[in-house]
Homo-oligomer: A and B are copies of this chain.
Amino acid sequence: MPYVHDTLTRLNKSSPAQSEFYQATEEVLECLRPLLEQSDYYHDHSIIERIVEPERQIMFRISWVDDAGKVRVNKGYRVQFNSALGPYKGGLRFHPSVTSGTIKFLGFEQIFKNALTGLPIGGGKGGADFDPKGKSDNEIMRFCQAFMSELYRHIGPHCDVPAGDIGVGTREIGYLFGQYKRLTGHYEGVLTGKGLNWGGSLGRKEATGYGAVYFAQNMLAARGEELRDKTCLVSGAGNVAIYTIEKLYELGLDPSPVAIHVAPFMMKTV
């Protein structure tokens, strides 16, 4: 489709050096081709141009002091990609590989993942090129406080509700929420992924893995098939993989690394 092709060509120019993001937009738009070819509506209302460009991207300098007393500088991101269906929602990733392109790629996919829940939530993503590995607890705390000292003005319960992601677990969410509360004075629903003893949800860690299995069960049922007749393959070593395996065991399957296969869909941590 020339419409999609032209839009993506312009995107490469206006958002240079973001290969993961181009790949994500191409894949999603390719999937949508049957829909886009069906009607001129999408072209006439510039839907594609609008959906591939984030509504708002905030990038910020994070200055913090390490245990040796030296000022360290990192780069923080929050991409508020699309709020057509609800407040922005999507995780924060703290990892040295984080760039503008990875955050945009993840934020773009988050729009569609969130829409599939049927809940009124939009898509966003954020993070920093900070490496939590080898940092002390106090360094993590100081970094999180510095990060939130900027982020707090851009988020809110009806505006943007970040979650955790790689490098951002209950400890980091705790430091982030503590700083948000200190600065705004509000104890409110502005972050998900909180620890169980101060407001977190039960079963959060298991949710994505269990959900993947339930989803596979239902999808197969729709075709008149059963999961128990299948050989399952689980890839990955994080929470999603672990709890997928746990649930498969519970259902009486034998998810040995060689045998388990939940293809053809891929699972990623929310």
Contact = CB atoms under 8 A, between A and B. Distances in A.
Contacts of A69: 67, 136, 138
B71 A46 contact: yes
A73 B53 contact: yes
A15 to B, nearest CB: 8
Contacts of A86: 187, 199
Interface string A42-77: 001110011001111111110101010111110100
Interface string A134-172: 001010011000000110010010110000000000000
The number of times this chain is found in the oligomer is: 6
A185 interface: yes
A186 interface: yes
Nearest to A44: B70
Given A56-B61, A60-B55, A156-B186, A50 B75 contact: no
A79 to B, nearest CB: 9
Contact of A187 (B75, B120, B182): B120
14 contacts: A46-B73, A50-B71, A55-B60, A56-B60, A58-B58, A85-B198, A85-B199, A86-B187, A149-B182, A153-B185, A156-B185, A156-B186, A159-B186, A183-B183
